[in-house]
Structure 1
Amino acid sequence: MPSGTIVGLSEEEVTQRVTEGKTNDVPARAARSVSEIWRANVFTRINAILGVLFLIVLSTGSLINGLFGLLIVANSAIGIIQELRAKRTLDELAIVGQAKPTVRRQSGTGPRRPSEVVLDDVIELGPGDQIVVDGEVLEDANLEVDESLLTGEADPMVKVVGDHVMSGSFVVAGSGAYRATKVGREAYAAKLAEEASKFTLVKSELRSGIDRILRFITYLLVPAGLLIIYTQLFTTDAGWRESVLRMVGALVPMVPEGLVLMTSIAFAVGVVRLGRRKCLVQELPAIEGLARVDVVCADKTGTLTENGMRLSECKALSGDDLEAVLAQLAADDARPNASMQAIAEAYGSAPGWTPTAAAPFKSATKWSGTSYGEHGNWVIGAPDVLLDPRSDEAEQAERIGAQGLRVLLLGSSDRPVDAPDAPGVVTPVALVVLEQRVRPDARDTLEYFAAQKVTVKVISGDNAVSVGAVAGTLGLHGETMDARGLPDEHEALADTLEEYTTFGRVRPDQKRAMVHALQSRGHTVAMTGDGVNDVLALKDADIGVAMGSGSSASRAVAQIVLLDNRFATLPYVVGEGRRVIGNIERVSNLFLTKTVYSVLLAVAVGLAGLASKVFGTDPLPFPFQPIHVTIAAWFTIGIPAFILSLAPNAERAHPGFVRRVMTSALPSGLVVGVATFVSYLLAYQGRAATDAEQTQASTAALITLLVGAVWVLAVVARPYEWWRVALVTVSGLAYVVIFSLPVARHLFLLDPSNARTTTTALVVGAIAAALIEATWWVRGRMLGEPRRLWRTAD
């Protein structure tokens, strides 16, 4: 839109407003500052629990048993580093993908970042532009604004000079300019925008599932912890130092210290990886959500085809001077779309007619036009909308469109284009044929989704035959339907969507209704698009994916923005989501198995201690000191969990995260816990045991626990690849080395010298491993999941 008569601010006025703080200072991204990230990762509930236990151990003077305190440092450091990396990636990508309003100033008119807008700036508007601050309309040319994202009002609002516009709304038709009256945190949508752009992990099935699991664990920890504290301090004959150490040894492994951390790391690393592919994840759970999608609704233009168009030919239907009319229409379009840009490039200078009336293009009407007084009233748009679909001209356009080309009708109207009943009677003058190039990677992307059992629906505002032809060239099979024949009733619409694959002439409100209909049938829906007509559907879909070159409104409401405009990036986003989901499920199995067997062992030892008070039997000290559970976690959980959380994983996402994890961790934890307790009882020499015999009994229990825990890792790591086999093998050999080195045995309070006790512990551990293996196969049969030992090509 050329600058109007209203001039903008001078540089001196801009500088004065910046000095006075009258700027649009809402953070563009990541409301969590660096200091907040540090605090959030250091001052956690789990760090607090471990910190208290660490201080208790230090009070006994046993520094080696306080080695688990390094977990506090490791948890915090890893969390801080990964979140800072993700924050930096998000901030950099957000600047690239940020909507840049066109600001009119005395020094010149051009795009500026929202943060550079100051109070009283004059901002120009065109179709698809998002309104970044509140303001008052100064100029209007058929300006229509959609405020549905703020007010819920479905119909676009006509705006004239003097009307107010609100930040967060967007232009659907026409053009204009407005003066900024409220900027920064005073603007209507500022708080919403700031909240939406936070680095956050909320509204995630994984996160909510883990929260449920942690609540369940808390219910177990409290009674088990109180029981073990009482029995170790008041029923055993050991000194207070020994009792305190064994109490802490029981409590430390109950805490799933790395579960939340590994989940955060998996998400953060996913953001960084996708950032390298120019994919901006505006809401982190979108990574996970897209992996669960089973229907992708793809727009044709800008998604399956490239944005740019080329004029193929112009078929004259009458003797008018087509070149002059088309050149003038293109010249008078303030914000030309791809079609008008192609026409402008094909024709020379305009004859200079003076427009007397104008009608902007709208997705709902499918036409635009300009009246030129004595030079006539001209409209250009969809032939099947402007003409009787049964007319010869409309049928000719249909045949051309069947070749995958876009066809527009140039016609003359019998009334001004701004008349209430426009376009009136349209006389066909020419068929303007435009050529769109199909994205070279679109076919591979559609084939990927087909192989992954993800249904693709092509939803476009273009002619249905043309859309169907493009879909056909890409190998997408299924029936095509003109959306003007879609039923309004919800259930009937859902039935139709199940039957048809490709839809043309779809209105913006229909796109949203189609998304709702698919969701009502239990589908998880992703919507891709780049235009203003896609905004409502993008917002209501489970996952909205916008193209970086699309309208600022579409980018603002989408959870994922493909900054390189490549539809082929979506499979990588799906793959990253599957990696996150699959790996977190594996890691959760490891941590929760440890919690289950730790709680079970604590309860068993605690009940034995109560029995000693009631029946006068020998008290039973807890088998492990803190150093024992620390080294047990090193190679069965800590290091393997970190590697598995970041590893490649292309397995399909399955529903029921909590059920799947609990049905896996509970049986494994019970087996390991019972086996460890049995091994300890077999090795325990009673009240009269010497320190050496007590150490041998603790070592035997630890050997059984390690055999069982390593086998849990072996099961969780399946299906095997060479590196997974190496991970399990190295983890097992690490404990062989620890038990073989005299200095390690002395440092970690181990004594496997009693051959009989050690052999018994290994046998009990082998039995536990066999039961864990059998449980894995039985669980697979009960859940109907095929079991695979080795990874095969899908």
Structure 2
Amino acid sequence: ILIIGILRGEQFGEMFLIAIAIAVSAMPEGLPAAVTVTLALGMESILKRGGLVRNLLAVETLGATTVILTDKTGTLTEAKMKLNSLYTLQSIRTGGKGMTEDDKNLLIMAVLASDAFVEEGSDAPRKLTVHGRPIEKAVVVSGLENGVSQNDINDENKRIEFLKFESRRRFGASLNMYKNNKKRLYLSGEPEFLLDHSTYVLKNGKVTKLNAKDYTDFQQIQNRGSADGMRFIAVSYKDVSWKNMDSGFNEQKERNEKILANNAIFVGLMTFEDPIRKDVKEAVLKAQKAGARIMMVTGDNPKTAKNVAIKVGIAKENDIALLGSDLALQDDKTLLKTLREIKIFARALPEQKLRISRILRDSGEVVAMTGDGINDAPALRAANIGIAIGSGTEIAREASDIILLNNSFSIIVSAIEEGRKIIDNIKKILAYMLSTSFAEVLIIGGALIFGASLPLLPAQILWSNIIGGGPMSFAFAFEKGDKNIMNRKPNLLTSKDILTPVIKKFILTIGIITGIFLTILYFIFLKIGMPIDEARTMMFVAISMDAIFFTFSLKSFDTALWKINIFSNIFLIIAFIINILILIATLSFTPLRALLSLTTLSLEQFLFLCGIGVFNLITIETIKYFLFFKNKQIS
């Protein structure tokens, strides 16, 4: 513009001010503030749905999620486990009628090996509250329901040391003092692990050698129950002479925690039911329609994991569950191929979760991952979006971007939807600012090229930019989103990706059409002999009106204006009214009118320019139809 003006013989000072004014108006300086408001509103919306956002930028990344790595317990299920059955050799042999002596011993030892604890309320009536991991809580509650009080048995079996359950270890252990100051180690954990490390079995209150039939009986029970979605834990014990667990390690001449389970006496199995959350199946389907691939990565039994995955719609009957230990046999390239095909990973350790997350992210996927344990923190940090379970550890929450306050998977899907809405609204803000600025450049450039006087003065350009780009751009932050927003494939939110080819085409097309239309209008004003100050005033109002009415066309990129509710965003309506009032005040307030070198307009002229704004809006909607809707192009 500056060069064209100088070549035409315009004064350098005036053209320099014009160039500066256009540069300022073309720069979307309000974008950072508008984006921040949009993100903050997104955080508030997610919080209302049960998700606490710790990282503001994670809100926008959510909309681009392509893979969700989810745990099972508490996220897909309610984590309200209830004892279903007790299996000891005695109960198996007697058909499971009533609680046998061995069943009672199984329950007592499970409570002794548990890390959960009972807290008694201070207010009457004194309410008992159980704290701990869901499975540990279920054990203690089961004991209370069957007459096994944790406080009573702990008095008789004083705990010396405790080894908390960890998935890498596969069991937890409690070293207790019992009758005549003897020491006994109680273990609970994965059935297959404790069975493999046991040498003996408790049968009818007596210790006997664990034979092949006993082993097979327990194994078959676990296989049948796991296939039905039951959660299993096993319990074993052994008497020891150690002073503490460290001395137990030292006796074995190596510090390997797993040796604690060697030569134990297997007591039995406990099965628990964990109801699937009612809203999960619908949420899974919604996420899949949105183009997100859902994978279950759990520490649970593969059969149990598959049963739940099928019930919620993550997997089908012919899908297989891969063990976490199988991942070590594959290099990264092979594992990536496996990750494209397998949807269920069972008995997965934290380091295996980390590797899965890292490989998927390195391959270009946008990964959202859930976790609750201390050891899940690295995997949560490695994912694009780390999602901590609200009931999880403090370390997991600190490592996360989002915390699920009620642990539900459906919150993740709602957050993805909110993220997509945010991306769309940022696109609308950017498209609005750039297309109006581009039109102004074309109008001024066109006038200079064809030898006409400047259609706008520097002050007028800046003020029209304030009218058009102020309240209206911020109002887009409150848009509710398109109805089909979760039926689109995910798009990344980067400076490169947010300006998609369709959005670029939209900005260029709208800018060119508007620029040509208003330039022609300006030459018509000059042709009919309108004074230059009046013509500039008409152009100032026309450009402002165009920017004000144009906002309604941006309510949706993929739906025609007449098919949507233009009043759905009350803030956009308020901004529209405010901008019209500002425009009227600008023309009515004499000092401001003089400052901007504007003239007064008649009511007929003002209404004519309003009609120009409406006509331009209709033209833009027609262009949108032929360029985008007819060809099914989506932003």
Whether TM-score is above 0.5 comes out as yes
Residues 736 and 684 of structure 1, relative CA distance in 2, 3 Å threshold: farther
- 1:384 aligns with 192
- The alignment yields a C-alpha RMSD, in angstroms, of 4.4
Aligned counterpart for 1:489 among listed residues 295, 313, 331: 331
Q: Which amino acid letter does the alignment assign opposite residue 481 of structure 1?
A: A
> Secondary structure at the residue paired with 2:111?
helix
Partners of 1:683 and 1:757 within 8 A in 2: no
Once the two structures are superposed, what CA deviation does each residue of 1:671-695 show, in whole Å capped at 9, x if it has no partner? 3334433433443379xx8xx7112
Alpha-carbon distance, 1:559 to partner:
0.3
| 1:406 is aligned to 2:231 | yes
Q: How do 1:568-579 residues align onto structure 2 when only pairs under 5 Å count?
A: 568-579=410-421
Partners of 1:248 and 1:626 within 8 A in 2: no
- 1:120 aligns with none
- 1:253 aligns with 25
Partners of 1:508 and 1:533 within 8 A in 2: yes
Alpha-carbon distance, 1:597 to partner:
2.4
Taking structure 2 as the reference length, the TM-score comes to 0.72
Aligned counterpart for 1:469 among listed residues 307, 330, 339: 307
Q: Which amino acid letter does the alignment assign opposite residue 780 of structure 1?
A: F
Structure 1: which 5+ residue stretches go unaligned? 1-223, 609-617, 788-794
- 1:654 aligns with 491
| Larger RCO: 1 or 2 (CA < 8 Å, sep 6+) | 2
Once the two structures are superposed, what CA deviation does each residue of 1:469-492 show, in whole Å capped at 9, x if it has no partner? 222333433324141334422222
- 1:161 aligns with none
Distance 2:267 2:361 in 1: 44
Distance 1:248 1:362 in 2: 64
Alpha-carbon distance, 1:286 to partner:
0.9
Distance 2:613 2:153 in 1: 88
| 1:527 is aligned to 2:345 | no
Aligned counterpart for 1:715 among listed residues 553, 563, 566: 553
Partners of 1:582 and 1:649 within 8 A in 2: yes
Partners of 1:228 and 1:247 within 8 A in 2: no
- 1:297 aligns with 69
> Secondary structure at the residue paired with 2:153?
coil
- 2:97 aligns with none
Q: Which amino acid letter does the alignment assign opposite residue 649 of structure 1?
A: G
Q: Which amino acid letter does the alignment assign opposite residue 505 of structure 2?
A: T
Once the two structures are superposed, what CA deviation does each residue of 1:216-248 show, in whole Å capped at 9, x if it has no partner? xxxxxxxx5x6599799x8359xx9x9999778
Alpha-carbon distance, 1:495 to partner:
2.3
- 1:640 aligns with 472
- 2:220 aligns with 395
Q: Which amino acid letter does the alignment assign opposite residue 312 of structure 1?
A: N
Q: How do 1:191-590 residues align onto structure 2 when only pairs under 5 Å count?
A: 224=1, 235=10, 250=22, 253-317=25-89, 321=102, 323-324=104-105, 326-327=107-108, 330-331=111-112, 337-345=133-141, 346=143, 347-348=148-149, 349-350=152-153, 352-353=156-157, 359-370=163-174, 377-387=185-195, 391-412=216-237, 418=249, 419=252, 420=256, 421-478=259-316, 479-483=319-323, 484-486=325-327, 487-590=329-432
Q: Which moved more, 1:708-717 or 1:302-311?
A: 708-717
Once the two structures are superposed, what CA deviation does each residue of 1:502-539 show, in whole Å capped at 9, x if it has no partner? 22211111111222233344321111122234323212
Distance 2:565 2:616 in 1: 25
Residues 739 and 500 of structure 1, relative CA distance in 2, 3 Å threshold: same
Residues 570 and 676 of structure 1, relative CA distance in 2, 3 Å threshold: same
Residues 422 and 332 of structure 1, relative CA distance in 2, 3 Å threshold: closer
Structure 2: which 5+ residue stretches go unaligned? 91-99, 117-131, 197-211, 243-247
Q: How do 1:22-171 residues align onto structure 2 when only pairs under 5 Å count?
A: none
- 2:120 aligns with none
Q: Which moved more, 1:402-411 or 1:414-423?
A: 414-423
Partners of 1:587 and 1:644 within 8 A in 2: yes
Taking structure 1 as the reference length, the TM-score comes to 0.59
Q: Would you say how many aligned residue pairs link Structure 1 and Structure 2? A: 544
Distance 2:376 2:83 in 1: 25
> Secondary structure at the residue paired with 1:268?
helix
Alpha-carbon distance, 1:379 to partner:
2.7
Residues 734 and 468 of structure 1, relative CA distance in 2, 3 Å threshold: same
Partners of 2:588 and 2:600 within 8 A in 1: no
Alpha-carbon distance, 1:430 to partner:
0.8
Q: Which moved more, 1:450-459 or 1:649-658?
A: 649-658
Partners of 1:445 and 1:568 within 8 A in 2: yes
Distance 1:737 1:411 in 2: 79
- 2:633 aligns with 785
Alpha-carbon distance, 1:647 to partner:
1.6
Residues 530 and 606 of structure 1, relative CA distance in 2, 3 Å threshold: same
Aligned counterpart for 2:513 among listed residues 668, 671, 695: 671
Once the two structures are superposed, what CA deviation does each residue of 1:274-315 show, in whole Å capped at 9, x if it has no partner? 333442211101111111112211101121123343333321
Distance 2:575 2:405 in 1: 42
Distance 1:700 1:376 in 2: 93
Once the two structures are superposed, what CA deviation does each residue of 1:88-138 show, in whole Å capped at 9, x if it has no partner? xxxxxxxxxxxxxxxxxxxxxxxxxxxxxxxxxxxxxxxxxxxxxxxxxxx
- 1:630 aligns with 463
Alpha-carbon distance, 1:328 to partner:
5.0
Alpha-carbon distance, 1:570 to partner:
2.2
Distance 1:327 1:697 in 2: 93
Distance 2:425 2:413 in 1: 18
Alpha-carbon distance, 1:366 to partner:
1.2
Alpha-carbon distance, 1:579 to partner:
1.9
- 1:74 aligns with none
Partners of 1:245 and 1:626 within 8 A in 2: no
- 1:219 aligns with none
Q: Which amino acid letter does the alignment assign opposite residue 485 of structure 1?
A: D
Distance 2:289 2:506 in 1: 28
Distance 2:605 2:374 in 1: 77
Residues 564 and 408 of structure 1, relative CA distance in 2, 3 Å threshold: closer
Alpha-carbon distance, 1:261 to partner:
1.7
Residues 627 and 305 of structure 1, relative CA distance in 2, 3 Å threshold: same
The percentage of counterpart residues that share the same residue type is 22
> Secondary structure at the residue paired with 2:79?
strand
> Secondary structure at the residue paired with 1:570?
helix
Residues 699 and 324 of structure 1, relative CA distance in 2, 3 Å threshold: same
Partners of 1:329 and 1:370 within 8 A in 2: no
Q: How do 1:1-40 residues align onto structure 2 when only pairs under 5 Å count?
A: none
Residues 377 and 391 of structure 1, relative CA distance in 2, 3 Å threshold: farther
